[in-house]
Amino acid sequence: MNVDTGIGGTPMVAEGQQQQQQVPRSQLPQRSVVSKGKYTLHDFQVMRTLGTGSFGRVHLVRSVHNGRYYAIKVLKKQQVVRMKQIEHTNDERRMLKLVEHPFLIRMWGTFQDSRNLFMVMDYIEGGELFSLLRKSQRFPNPVAKFYAAEVTLGLEYLHSHNIIYRDLKPENILLDRNGHIKITDFGFAKEVDTVTWTLCGPPDYIAPEVIATKPYNKSVDWWSLGVLIFEMLAGYTPFYDTTPMKTYEKILQGKVVYPTFFHPDVVDLLGKLITADLTRRIGNLQSGSKDIKCHPWFSEVVWEKLLAKDIETPYEPPITTGIGDTSLFDQYPEEQFDYGIHCEDPYQEYFTEF
């Protein structure tokens, strides 16, 4: 999850303080397997860090009961409160509890101690799409198309349940051991009926209407899909600049320079995704995501087979040492952790869902 930052890095007001049109009750079936407080730290052997974020880190853990590996995201309560992310954190838990889709991360439960919040998720061994992209520099057209198509199905599912994801970037797309994607990090996901206002998301991927603090809807994710496709094919983002401020300015100018090696079909699709004009942005028109799936760039994708994972993946992560292998993740310095401490908790009232 990224922290909401205004232009120039000023923290934005928390979402609860802004006008919102939220869905009063979730449209999604409640998954009964996700439990609150069923686990404790004693159920897991905490192993190495897989990734770090703004409020804590994600660890590989092993269940002491069934020997299986999971990933546990740990968020420091103090940090969450300081950065005005209470509502986003509770939203993340709620969204993860609700979603069930082949290309979205699955959460099994949550718990807390006096200082931290814990979310137990499936461990996805293949590492980040980001790492694969940096190693490869850029992806050939069919490879980019495969990942883009799986992302499209994940976003389509979320949107069909009135969830805007808002944080699409290659760091949040993990690869499973067979090379299929899993979208992780629901720290910005929001269940909304129509429109919302908060400025959030990674600078390179953010849509112009979000920067301009206009009301926006699900179509911000389709803009980000366009940026993702561009980055996968080019090896850099279309509005890249040295500071977030300069990137925002470029996004607002909206000028995209397509490398000459881009296929004309993808230039056409990207022109329709990376457009500030919401009446023209594909995915936001009358037929919704169908228009994207029917676009000529995706013509050879058999969507039902893709959803069933019945299509060969372009890359199988080299998982060498079997289950629990972490060789595809970067190394992070390990510290002395304050997990499992029970003492006075000044933030107790904010996280009753965990």
Would you say 150 or 185 has its CB closer to ligand ATP? 185
Judge contact between 216 and 210, C-beta under 8 A: yes
Would you say 297 or 351 has its CB closer to ligand ATP? 351
Would you say 89 or 275 has its CB closer to ligand ATP? 89
For residue 50, the tally of other CB atoms under 10 A from its CB is 24
In the chain, the amino acid numbered 293 is K
Q: How far is the CB of 169 from ligand ATP (least distance, A)?
A: 8
Judge contact between 353 and 36, C-beta under 8 A: yes
Tell me: is residue 73 an annotated ligand-binding position. yes
Radius of gyration of the chain (CA): 20
In the chain, the amino acid numbered 302 is V
Site residues, ligand ATP (CB under 6 A) = 1-2, 50-51, 53-55, 58, 71, 73, 105, 121-124, 128, 171-172, 174, 184-185, 187
Contacts of 81 (CB under 8 A, 6+ apart): 347, 350
Alpha-helical runs (H) found in the chain: 77-82, 86-98, 129-136, 141-160, 208-211, 219-234, 244-253, 264-273, 289-293, 303-307
Read off the tokens for 331.
Answer: 């190394």
Read off the tokens for 201.
Answer: 């998301």
Would you say 174 or 266 has its CB closer to ligand ATP? 174
Q: How far is the CB of 297 from ligand ATP (least distance, A)?
A: 27
Q: How far is the CB of 269 from ligand ATP (least distance, A)?
A: 27
Dmax over Cα atoms in the chain, in whole Å?
61
Q: How far is the CB of 202 from ligand ATP (least distance, A)?
A: 8
Separation CA 242–CA 216 (nearest Å): 26
Residue 106 sits at φ, ψ, to 5 deg, of -110, 135
269 alpha carbon, distance to own chain's centre:
22
User: Can you tell me which residue has the tokens 């979603």?
Assistant: 99
Read off the tokens for 181.
Answer: 């994607």
Residue among 4, 167, 204, 221 flagged as catalytic: 167
Would you say 123 or 298 has its CB closer to ligand ATP? 123
268 is catalytic: no
Q: How far is the CB of 54 from ligand ATP (least distance, A)?
A: 4
Q: Which residues are known catalytic residues?
A: 167
Residues of the binding site: 73
Residues of the binding site for ATP: 73
